[in-house]
A = this chain, B = another copy of it.
């Protein structure tokens, strides 16, 4: 008897959808245009009906003051995660130990979490970039560079390395051999040449993360 499948049902489903999507209830006019009614007065009838049967509660004269008593039954659209990508927790190093080429995880300043397919295999660490010697490669001050810990690299790769036991620095490896050459990516800086013994490579840059 109280079966009004068409409009009443449409309205109730729209209420659920709207609340679900926007986080707040629609107005009478929004309902009207959504279900194909031309006048807000037409909606009133159905709202009263829905309230009488306990599906919703309303507060008179207040915009959007409408509460669903039977929260969505058609929720959980596509929140199913399925396969979750594996994540890697990468320590942020305050400084890199200038030892024998082995990266010591000292002064951990926190962590960076990335998906495994972003960085690949191996052990990783992250450094906050200081200075602007790599701006032409889009590596800015205060960015984080993520490096895979490795003691060797090839020409042309971006590496984290220490020179003369100095603090770690990020540069482009440009020549290998008896003499090693490191290139900045900034015309205002000079290339660095040093003896093979004086340069230790800590890792190869595999990713960059910037937070605004």
Contact = CB atoms under 8 A, between A and B. Distances in A.
A110 B135 CA distance: 29
Given A22-B67, A24-B65, A211 B85 contact: no
A212 B22 CA distance: 36
A13 to B, nearest CB: 17
A112 interface: yes
B207 A209 contact: yes
A158 interface: yes
A32 to B, nearest CB: 16
A10 interface: no
A210 B207 contact: yes
A183 interface: no
Given A64-B63, A113-B85, A210 B208 contact: yes
Interface string A37-71: 00000000000000000000101001111111000
Given A25-B24, A64-B24, A64-B63, A118 B87 contact: no
Contacts of A112: 115, 118
A23 interface: yes
Nearest to A158: B212
Interface string A83-94: 011010100000
A48 B124 CA distance: 38
A35 interface: no
Nearest to A66: B24
Interface string A127-143: 00000000100111001
Contacts of A64: 24-25, 63-65
Contacts of A67: 22-24
Nearest to A208: B210
